Amino acid sequence: MATRSKIHSDLVKRGQATVVGDQDPALFDYCQRLGDDALILGQRLGEWCGHAPALEVDLSLANLALDLIGQGTNFLGLAGDADKLAFHRDVLDWKNCLLVEQPNGDFAQTIARQLLFSTWQHMLYEGLANSSDERVGAIAAKGVKEVAYHRELAADWTIRLGDGTDESARRMAEGLDWCWRFVPELFEVDELLEGLIADGIAADPRAFESEYRTAIATVLAEAKLQSPADQRAILGGRRGHHSEHLGHLLAVMQFLPRTYPDAQW
């Protein structure tokens, strides 16, 4: 099964397996949600390249970024033409959740974002690996080990920063505070997602919400951090309502292919 999954996702990556396309609008949209989450966070983490607190952390974050960009490429490649979707869509057409587009801030805020996202993504991919659409299942099955590592790494750093110096604990708490209002969106189920869940294609995030809350609370307790107070949830990423930060990210990411459309690597 593992081999088959890999082969299939490699085929998807090379564009030799069937793509969903816009004749199946719901799945087309869902693949973009999954792909956009991974690609945007990968691009964000890439911004640390050369700027991380230590060379080793630079490599850690770049490894995470590359895993995520790979997952993004797989899901966007399943949706349609990955390059076209990545480089020629304007901000209103992006379907990622708001958490992943948030700025890196300091290292603690980046780790807070990673903990909250990777824990969710890990649980989601575990569910998606059993998707009734075997193409979606194959991509998730390939990503689940990568994401398990991201989750552990983020938890390790959360614990060290939270239970570190006064300054690192303060920064970690502020990072969590910044990211906390974007968590409810991860568990939002709209009509489109409801339909895909009913068909067994999409994973239902509500099924693991309490497990998620417990997992985060366990890490924060070990880090000697308080869970932030619940804030007014900010939603809308799945419908293309993004924060100002995404436009700037896309400007950097899309500049080259848009300015030189025929550029070759």
Partner 1 sequence: MSGHDWPLWEVFVRAKGGLSHRHVGSVHAPDAELALRHARDTYTRRLEGVSLWVVPSASIIASDPADSGPLFEPAEDKIYRHPTFYDIPDVVKHI
Residues at the contact surface with partner 1, assessed by CB under 8 A: 53-57, 59-60, 63, 153, 156-157, 160, 164-165, 168
Q: How far is the CB of 55 from partner 1 (least distance, A)?
A: 6
Place of tokens 């991380």: 52
Q: Which CB sits closer to partner 1, 59 or 252? A: 59
Q: Which CB sits closer to partner 1, 104 or 168? A: 168
Q: How far is the CB of 67 from partner 1 (least distance, A)?
A: 11
- Name which of 206, 196, 213, 203 is nearest 143 in CA terms: 203
- Name which of 193, 201, 187, 194 is nearest 233 in CA terms: 187
Q: Which CB sits closer to partner 1, 78 or 144? A: 144
Q: Are 39 and 26 in contact (CB under 8 A)?
A: no
Cα separation of 82 and 74, whole Å? 8
- Cβ neighbours of 256 (radius 10 Å): 11
Q: Are 33 and 120 in contact (CB under 8 A)?
A: no
Q: How far is the CB of 149 from partner 1 (least distance, A)?
A: 8
Q: Are 117 and 99 in contact (CB under 8 A)?
A: yes
Q: Which CB sits closer to partner 1, 2 or 59? A: 59
Terminal C-alpha separation, the chain:
34
For residue 12, what are the contacts with CB-CB under 8 A and spacing of at least 6? 19, 74, 77, 78, 135, 138, 139
Q: How far is the CB of 63 from partner 1 (least distance, A)?
A: 5
Q: How far is the CB of 247 from partner 1 (least distance, A)?
A: 31
| Segment holding 164, helix H or strand E | none
Q: How far is the CB of 72 from partner 1 (least distance, A)?
A: 19
Q: Which CB sits closer to partner 1, 93 or 167? A: 167
Q: Which CB sits closer to partner 1, 96 or 158? A: 158
